[in-house]
Amino acid sequence: QNFKVFFFSVFIRSLLLSPRLYLYDQKYNTTVILRNINILNELFSILLAKELGIMKQPDPFKWTNQIVMNCADIDIITASFVPEGGEEINATGFNYQNEDEKVTLCFPSILQKGSGSLKIDFVGELNDKMKGFYRSKYTTPSGENRYAAVTQFEATDARRAFPCWDEPAIKATFDITLIIPKDRIALSNMNVVDRKPYPEDHSLVEVKFATTPIMSTYLVAFVIGEYDFVESQSSDGVTVRVYTPVGKAEQGKFALEVATKTLPFYKDYFSVPYPLPKIDLIAIADFAAGAMENWGLVTYRETALLIDPKNSCASSRQWVALVVGHELAHQWFGNLVTMEWWTHLWLNEGFASWIEYLCVDHCFPEYDIWTQFVSADYTRALDLDALDNSHPIEVDVGHPSEVDEIFDAISYSKGASVIRMLHNYIGDEDFRKGMNAYLLKFQHKNASTEDLWECLEQASGKPIAAVMNSWTKQMGFPIIVVDQEQHGSDRVLKISQKKFCASGPRNDENCPNWMVPISICTSEDPSCTKMKVLLDQPETTVNITNIAPDHWIKINPGTVGFYRIQYSTTMLESLLPGIRDLTLLPVDRLGLQNDLFSLLHKQADMQEEKNRIERVLGAIPAPDLIQRVLNFALSVRKYTHTLTVENRSDCGNF
């Protein structure tokens, strides 16, 4: 709890940091002294030194005598600016804008063009709020309560540890040194380059870390505490450690296995190597987030990282595999390339929420993880996005404080679902080409959603931006209505779209249209897509050649499209053999039942829908299908009070 940060060296590069000041070449050199974490409400003091380059701005702006920085829960004692080759200028005042979490440093004279050093002496508190730089309480094997010192900076809490420009587009390199009790472990983003006794106090050691790549402030991390660890190396030579509470190293072995398999998978998939020499995964006792992708030092709740090999179930192992896969995906998509502003956070999280399943499916194919994706993220997103109070995936963020309010299951689960649909629409080969181009073009920089669409568009030759904007910038999704007619050896499909609403059908002339990638398979090969079409209008007709009258047609194989499907009675009847003999894959049976259940919620003809569903359930479903039926049986009770007595009886009988 009693620690001192006494030196930062900062160069700011090509960024507007106040209305009248450009700074460039940003670099943080940070030393933290931590003596005793266990003292409550102890203040910490920091002397912050920043070397700055000040460049003249074009008119109408003039020179300034002010510097504006992000700052929260910190009291500045003194500040001064020393121009290169000039005399020190002491700040004459500090204006705190607490609501905006900013401070303005006021100087008595103009800050001239050229290099210089900004020094700030200030105090703050190692808090118990689980954000910024805080104390995490844990219990030792002997039953004693102790504390670790932990950071959690996303979205905007680096400013609670030190004054900075705390925005994702203002990147920097960081040199971090931690001076800590010699019986504690110190971790940070990079590998240790030196550890030696601290000359001023022999009970302390000084731990110096290598310089980080250029990165955003929200990804900086350091942890001081007592931990055990297990270690391995990935096949591409990255040192991987999993840090656990003392005495629980055995519980970190599964996460270690996942991480050592995951890193090479992402390296191969993106064709971009992991850029750091090591990665640490650490279980934190008091941790508000599920996990945090700090570059090179990923923090987790204990339940999201630790697996007791003697007392764990398959679902727990699958959950750990998914969370590890999610956070390691961010090491490329989020850390190497970072969103330029929080409006684009949905893409970071939606992408990681999709590719975690792709990674786990590759590393652990026995999990049948895509069926679980459909029963979890996909189904949850459809259920929520059908409500009248839903919202678009992409929502403008005016202030960082809005981040937690805006980003929810719509942003994450629907985001993952539409990216999965996009991947299927483009094809894996072109998708990977586009991702590689995006990561190489914007590595160590910032990018927007539109930048990714442009790279994928160039790789695939398809109208990615137009397609995806219809899914990310408007709320809701369509229901695809399908009917068929047989003409000789050809099958003609009539396909139309309209907005799906849980509250019932809408006859709104201004109802939006989506650009809907539609895949079609047949009973000839249910695992292979026979045809793809892009439905970019309210309705269309599709002709499928060389298909026998007794063959069935299935829309949306793999349940990858983010929409509901309403089949005509004849089409649904034709699918029954594929359901009964299990030639339809579990994920397709799940998607089919899910769509039929949703039609009940729309209060369609209960008897007709009941009969349809009873026929669909004629086959023995996979375990996930049973769970979906049970979930539906519980949820449908919520709707029975709105039905007529006759329909309520039908529903009860079903």
The 10s digit of each residue's pLDDT in 21-41 is 333 335 666 666 666 555 444
- Strand 445-447, strand 337-339: pairing: parallel
Residue 349 annotated as lining a ligand binding site: yes
What share of the chain in percent tops pLDDT 90? Answer: 56
Asked if residue 105 has pLDDT above 50, the reply is: yes
Pick the more confident residue, 648 or 299. 299
Determine the pLDDT at residue 201: 84
Residues 6+ apart with CB under 8 A from 435: 269, 270, 455, 456
Binned at pLDDT 50, 70 and 90, residue 110 comes out as: confident
Instruction: Say if residue 205 is in the same domain as residue 144.
Output: yes
- 355 and 426 in a single domain? The answer is yes
46: tokens are 């920091």
pLDDT tens-digit series, residues 198-232: 888 888 898 999 999 999 999 999 999 999 999 99
Alpha carbon separation from 346 to 87, 167, 284, 334, 597 (Å, rounded): 47, 16, 25, 11, 29
pLDDT higher at 433 or 20: 433
Structure-derived torsion over alpha carbons of residues 266, 271, 276, 280, reported in degrees to the nearest 10: 0
* 569 and 432 share one domain: no
Do 508 and 624 share a domain, yes or no? yes
Element (H, E) at 76: strand 74-83
Distance CA 337, CA 438 (A): 9
How sure is the predictor about 4, in pLDDT bands with cuts at 50, 70 and 90? Answer: very low
Pick 189 or 84 by higher pLDDT.
189
Q: Is the residue at 242 inside a domain?
A: no
CATH number for the domain spanning 448: value is: 1.10.390.10
171-175, 182-186, 625-629: which range is least confident on average? 625-629
| pLDDT at site 179 | 83
Is residue 298, in this structure, part of any structural domain at all? no
Domain limits for position 642: 478-653
Predicted confidence (pLDDT) per residue in 593-607, tens digit: 888 888 765 544 555
Residue 363 has pLDDT above 60, yes or no: yes
Regarding whether 427 and 557 lie in a shared domain, the answer is no
423: annotated binding-site residue?
Answer: no
User: Could you tell me if residue 328 is inside a domain?
Assistant: no
β-pair partners for 45:
4, 123
Cβ contact 338:216 at 8 Å = yes
Report the CATH number at residue 634.
Answer: 2.60.40.1910
Q: Which residue has the higher pLDDT, 294 or 200?
A: 294
The stretch 245-253 carries a mean pLDDT of 96
Of 67-71, 416-420, 531-535, 579-583, minimum mean pLDDT range: 579-583
Banded model confidence at residue 628, pLDDT cuts 50, 70, 90: low
Rounded Cα–Cα distance for residues 496 and 516 (Å): 10
Asked if pLDDT for residue 525 goes beyond 50, the answer is: yes
**Residue 22 has what pLDDT?**
34
Least reliable range by pLDDT among 393-397, 398-402, 434-438, 566-570: 398-402
Residue 6 in this model has a pLDDT that exceeds 60: no
Active-site residue flag, 327? yes
- Residue 462 domain flag: yes
User: Do 461 and 493 share a domain, yes or no?
Assistant: no
60 pLDDT above the threshold of 50: no
Global pTM value? 0.88
How high is the mean pLDDT of the chain?
84
Q: What is the mean pLDDT of residues 503-512?
A: 68
Count: domains in the chain: 3
452 and 542 in a common domain: no
pLDDT, average across residues 265-283: 98
Which one is catalytic: 125, 154, 257, 327?
327
- d(Cα 231, Cα 281) in Å, to the nearest integer? 10
**148 inside domain:** yes
Supply the pLDDT for residue 444: 95
Local confidence band at 362 (pLDDT 50, 70, 90 cut-offs): very high
Preceding omega of 155 cis (within 30 degrees of 0): yes
Q: Which one of 472, 489, 512 terminates a domain?
A: 472
Same domain flag for 14 and 159: yes
CA-based nearest residue to 491, from 530, 443, 453: 530
Specify whether 494 is located in the same domain as 373.
no
For the record, the structure tokens of 296 come out as 């090179």
Whether residues 340 and 406 fall in one domain: yes
Q: 202 a known binding residue?
A: no
Domain stops at, among 429, 444, 472: 472
* Residues 546, 579 within the same domain: yes
The predicted structure's pLDDT at residue 58:
42
As a whole number, mean pLDDT of residues 167-184 equals: 87
Query: Mean of the pLDDT values across residues 517-545?
Result: 94
- Stretch 615-633: mean pLDDT: 53
Contact yes or no for 331/293 (Cβ under 8 A): yes
For residue 123, the domain's CATH number is 2.60.40.1730
HSE-up of residue 223 (Cα within 13 Å, Cβ side)? 30
Please name the helix (run of DSSP H) or strand (run of DSSP E) that holds residue 619, with its range, or none.
none
**pLDDT for the residue numbered 35:** 62
Spell out the residues 6+ positions from residue 7 whose beta carbon is closer than 8 angstroms to its own.
29, 30, 31, 47, 48, 49
Asked whether residue 310 is domain-assigned, the answer is no
Encode pLDDT of 453-496 as tens digits. Answer: 999 999 999 999 999 999 999 999 999 999 999 998 999 999 99
Q: Are 458 and 552 members of one domain?
A: no
Domain final residue pick, 448, 472, 496:
472
Q: Give a yes or no: residue 257 inside a domain.
A: no
Per-residue pLDDT band for 614 (boundaries 50, 70, 90) equals low
- Residue 163 has a pLDDT of 86
Per residue in 408-428, pLDDT (tens digit) is 888 899 999 999 999 999 999
Specify if 288 maps to a domain.
no
**pLDDT reported for residue 191:** 97
Cβ contact 25:17 at 8 Å? no
